[in-house]
C-alpha cells in the first residue's frame, strides 16, 4: 500500500511566489515520518512554478484538476486543469474522449451547456471560451476581462452567459455574436463565484435604467449572486443591474448557489456556510460550520445541498441538518468542485483524481 503523502493545504498559493515554500510529509508503514519542503525557484514561461523538493522528495509534475461538470444526460464529464487543457470523458468509466486545448495557463472553470454537447470555460488568461464536445474545436472566444476568469453561469438555454473575474467585474455575454452585452457589476474586488437563479415573485429586482438589448435572452426575473474576495456577498437583478442586497460575511466568499427562488447558500474561506433568505438578508437563516477549512464548492441537491472543503471533506446535508452523509476518499487534499447526475456524485480533487460516488436512497 502506498505511503500517504500530505502537503500544506495552500501550497498552490505559496508556491506561486518566488522562493515561496510549502511543507510536505510522508509516513511509510512501520517507519518514521519523512518531513520535507517544496521551494519555488521562479515561474516558468508557461506560468507553472518551477519547484524543487528537499529530503529526497522529487517533483515530477505540477498539475491539478480545478473544476468538473457532468452533461445533462449524464453521459459525459468535463474537467479542467492547471496545465491549460480540459478533458472530455465518459462519465460511466472515465474513458478519455477529447482533449480541449487553447487556454494559456490555468483553466479555472468549466461547465456544459444544457444541450450537453457544448462546453463553457474560463481561464487565468482572462478568456472565456466555448467548445464543441463532439470534435474538441473552440467555436467562440470572448475577450474583455483584464484578469483571470474564476467562475461562470449559463442563463436559461445558453444564448447568454455570465462570467466573474479577478478584475472585479461580472460580465454578460452574447454567445451568438461573441460580444459583451455589458458589465453587470464592478465591485473592485475579485469575484470568486457567480450564480444565476430565478427570483420568487415577492422579490423586487428593480427596473433597468435603459432598455435591455434584444440580444439579452432569459435575463428577466433572474437574480445574480456574486461571491467576493472582500468578504461581501452581492445580489442584483440580472436584467435590471439593480442591487437586491449586500451581505458582509466573516471572510472571503469562495462560492455560492441558489436553493430556491428566495433561499441561497454561500461559503467562506474560514469554513462558514451561510444560508440566507433574499427577502430578509440582514441576518442568516443559519450558519453551518463543520471545520475551519475553506468552503470551495456548494451545490443544491435534492432537498439539501452538497459542500466540499479545503481539508478534503465533502458532505451532503439534508433538510434542517437532520441527516449528513460524508463522502470519503480525498484524505487531506482540497475538493474543488462537485457535480451530480441522478444518484451519481462526482468530485475533483487537488490530488488529480476525479471520484465517482453511487448513492443509495437517502
pLDDT band per the 50, 70, 90 thresholds, residue 28? confident
pLDDT band per the 50, 70, 90 thresholds, residue 31? confident
Higher model confidence: residue 303 or residue 9? 303
Q: Could you tell me the residue ranges of all domains in the chain?
A: 5-53, 65-358
Mean pLDDT of all residues in the chain? Answer: 91
Residue 344's nearest CA partner among 295, 298, 296, 301 is: 301
Question: How high is the pLDDT of residue 2?
Answer: 57
Instruction: Give mean pLDDT, residues 299-324.
Output: 88
Percent of the chain with pLDDT over 70: 94
For the segment 157-188, what is each residue's pLDDT rounded down to a tens digit?
A: 999 999 999 999 999 999 999 999 999 999 99
Instruction: Give mean pLDDT, residues 97-103.
Output: 96
CA distance 289 to 274: 9
For the segment 39-83, what is each residue's pLDDT rounded down to a tens digit?
A: 988 766 544 568 889 988 888 766 678 999 999 999 999 999 988
pLDDT band per the 50, 70, 90 thresholds, residue 146? very high
Question: How high is the pLDDT of residue 362?
Answer: 53
Q: Is the pLDDT of residue 13 over 90?
A: no
- At 49, give phi and psi (nearest 5°): -60, 145
DSSP 269-333: TTSEEEEEETTSTTS-SEEEES-SSPEEEEEEETTEEEEEETTS-EEEE-GGGS-EEEE-S-TTS
Question: How high is the pLDDT of residue 185?
Answer: 97
Cell numbers 440566507 correspond to 276
Q: Record the pTM.
A: 0.85
Cell digits of residue 10: 495552500
Question: How high is the pLDDT of residue 46?
Answer: 47
Class of residue 112 by CB neighbours under 10 A (exposed 0-12, middle 13-18, buried 19+): buried
Cell digits of residue 273: 456556510
CA distance 313 to 295: 10
Question: How high is the pLDDT of residue 1?
Answer: 47
pLDDT band per the 50, 70, 90 thresholds, residue 331? confident
For the segment 201-246, what is each residue's pLDDT rounded down to a tens digit?
A: 999 999 999 999 999 999 999 999 999 999 999 999 999 999 999 9
Question: How high is the pLDDT of residue 100?
Answer: 97
65-358 topology per CATH: Methylamine Dehydrogenase; Chain H (2.130.10)
Question: How high is the pLDDT of residue 44?
Answer: 62
Question: How high is the pLDDT of residue 328?
Answer: 86
Amino acid at each position: 500500500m502506498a505511503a500517504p503523502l500530505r502537503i500544506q493545504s495552500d501550497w498552490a498559493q505559496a508556491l506561486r511566489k518566488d522562493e515561496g515554500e510549502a511543507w510536505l510529509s510522508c509516513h511509510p508503514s512501520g517507519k518514521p515520518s519523512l518531513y520535507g519542503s517544496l521551494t519555488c525557484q521562479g515561474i516558468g514561461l508557461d506560468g507553472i512554478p518551477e519547484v524543487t523538493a528537499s529530503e529526497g522528495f522529487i517533483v515530477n509534475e505540477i498539475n491539478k484538476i480545478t473544476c468538473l461538470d457532468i452533461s445533462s444526460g449524464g453521459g459525459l464529464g468535463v474537467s479542467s486543469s492547471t496545465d491549460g487543457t480540459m478533458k472530455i470523458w465518459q462519465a460511466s468509466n472515465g474513458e478519455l474522449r477529447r482533449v480541449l486545448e487553447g487556454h494559456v495557463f490555468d483553466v479555472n472553470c468549466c461547465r456544459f451547456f444544457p444541450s450537453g454537447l457544448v462546453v463553457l470555460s474560463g481561464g487565468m488568461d482572462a478568456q472565456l471560451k466555448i467548445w464543441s464536445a463532439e470534435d474538441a474545436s473552440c467555436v467562440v472566444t470572448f475577450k474583455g476581462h483584464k484578469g483571470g476568469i474564476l467562475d461562470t453561469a449559463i442563463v436559461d438555454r445558453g444564448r447568454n452567459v455570465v462570467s466573474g473575474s479577478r478584475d472585479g467585474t461580472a460580465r454578460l455575454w452574447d454567445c451568438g455574436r461573441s460580444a459583451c452585452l455589458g458589465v453587470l457589476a464592478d465591485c473592485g474586488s475579485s469575484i470568486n463565484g457567480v450564480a444565476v437563479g430565478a427570483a420568487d415573485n415577492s422579490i423586487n429586482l428593480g427596473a433597468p435604467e435603459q432598455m435591455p438589448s434584444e440580444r439579452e435572452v432569459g435575463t428577466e426575473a433572474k437574480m445574480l449572486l456574486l461571491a467576493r474576495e472582500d468578504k461581501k456577498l452581492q445580489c442584483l437583478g440580472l436584467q435590471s443591474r439593480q442591487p437586491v442586497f449586500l451581505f458582509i460575511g466573516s471572510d472571503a466568499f469562495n462560492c455560492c448557489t441558489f436553493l430556491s427562488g428566495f433561499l441561497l447558500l454561500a461559503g467562506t474561506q474560514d469554513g462558514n456556510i451561510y444560508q440566507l433568505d433574499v427577502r430578509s438578508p440582514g441576518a442568516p437563516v443559519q450558519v453551518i460550520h463543520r471545520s475551519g477549512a475553506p468552503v470551495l464548492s456548494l451545490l443544491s441537491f435534492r432537498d439539501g445541498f452538497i459542500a466540499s472543503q479545503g481539508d478534503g471533506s465533502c458532505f451532503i446535508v439534508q433538510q434542517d441538518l437532520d441527516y449528513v452523509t460524508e463522502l470519503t476518499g480525498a484524505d487531506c487534499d482540497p475538493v474543488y468542485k462537485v457535480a451530480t447526475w441522478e444518484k451519481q456524485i462526482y468530485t475533483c480533487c487537488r490530488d488529480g483524481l476525479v471520484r465517482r460516488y453511487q448513492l443509495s436512497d437517502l
